[in-house]
Amino acid sequence: MKSKRLFAAAAAIALLAPLGARANIVLNMTTTGAQQADLNGAIYAQTDAQPTGTGNIRSFVRVQQTQSDTKFSEEGYNTDRRPVQFDEYTDPNFTRSVLITQVPVVSILGVDYRQFLLDINQNNGNGNLLSLNRVEIYLTDNPSITGFDPNAPVGTGFGSSANLVYSLDGGLNGDGRVELDYDLNGGSGEGDMFLYVRNDLFLAAFDGSGINVVLYSQFGTPPGPNSTNDGFEEWATLGVGPTLQILETPEPASLAMALSGAIPLGLWVVRRRKRATA
């Protein structure tokens, strides 16, 4: 049986502009095994095909463009509330509340992260790329939360009803974006990317009652360059998350500091290779 191990190679730290001036940061997940860390405690990792059928994962939100043939973007978040607010599926098997205890913890270089799986659906060949423009994760005590304002400042979309844990845009101090390639895994229902968010961010946002995790995301154009054009996008959790192993790196101490957030500036690119074991 083959096991997949991960090797790391650190890219140069971006020192050409002050942190506050940085904008339009693109995390590129369009090559096999690509991994990148943003500036706010998360790692984005393209993954080999992951089984996404019933029993393999726990879907908690599906979004799909439904309003018209001219709509090239979609958005939504997980909740038990009906009717849903945006482009979410109404089936409670696929759009529902999720407890923090249902989000697995994995260890990366000795730092604990919460693991989320993203499965995308695009046209093969022409139209295979997809822009993930926003990711915001909250804690709330309301499993039926509603009323998200996408025009509110980053992290305040639910007002006082939820505490922000993580935001892609907030972490990049500008307009962050993730580019994805549907063709890398060759089909629907195979999983495309893991998102790892530092567990201490969840602990910092916990106010004693917010045990429900809410993930809001937005895909397509505007504002990204690559539109939604086919089936649903789905966020899910695995029953038991694998441990991401960073086995080799030219500068292990520096990379560990970067991934743990100790280095405030820097975009670290991680390249994964496969190794077969008996």
Q: What is the pLDDT of residues 97-116, one digit of tens each?
A: 999 999 999 999 889 999 99
Q: Let me know: does 132 contact 222? Beta carbons within 8 Å.
A: no
pLDDT, position 38 = 82
> What integer pLDDT is reported at residue 274 of this predicted model?
31
Q: Has residue 40 got a pLDDT over 90?
A: no
- Note the pLDDT of residue 45: 94
Instruction: Find out whether 26 and 177 touch, Cβ atoms under 8 Å.
Output: yes
Q: Are 272 and 45 in contact (CB under 8 A)?
A: yes
Q: Quick one: average pLDDT of 129-143?
A: 95
Amino acid symbol at 16: L
Check if the beta carbon of residue 272 is closer than 8 Å to that of residue 33. Answer: yes
- 222-260, pLDDT tens digit by residue? 898 889 888 889 999 986 544 444 433 333 333 344 344
Rounded Cα distance between 35 and 24, Å, is: 18
Residue range 67-83: average pLDDT? Answer: 86
Residue type, 243: T
pLDDT band at 277 (very low <50, low <70, confident <90, very high): very low
Q: With 50 as the cut, is the pLDDT of residue 150 above it?
A: yes
Do 263 and 254 contact (CB within 8 A), yes or no? yes
Which of 173, 182, 183, 231 lies closest to 21, judged by CA? 173
- State the pTM of this model: 0.79
Which of 72, 71, 95, 179 is CA-nearest to residue 131? 179
pLDDT of residue 236: 94
Tens of pLDDT, residue by residue over 154-193, are 899 999 999 999 999 876 656 889 999 988 876 555 678 9
What pLDDT was estimated at residue 246? 40
Angstrom distance (rounded) from CA 219 to CA 36: 19
Residue 48 pLDDT class (50, 70, 90 cuts): confident
Q: Is the pLDDT of residue 80 over 50?
A: yes
| pLDDT classification of 210: cutoffs 50, 70, 90 | confident
The pLDDT assigned to 268 comes to 34
Cβ atoms within 10 A of the Cβ of 67, count? Answer: 10
Q: Give the range among 70-84, 148-162, 203-217, 233-247 with minimum mean pLDDT.
A: 233-247
Lowest mean pLDDT among 22-26, 120-124, 153-157: 22-26
Percent of the chain clearing pLDDT 90 (strictly above): 49
Q: For residue 270, what pLDDT is reported?
A: 33
CA neighbor of 227 nearest in space, from 64, 50, 43, 90: 64
CA proximity to 23, closest of 221, 180, 171: 171
pLDDT score at 54: 54
**Position 276: which residue type?**
A
Separation of CA 269 from chain center: 16
What's the mean pLDDT when you consider all of the chain?
Answer: 76
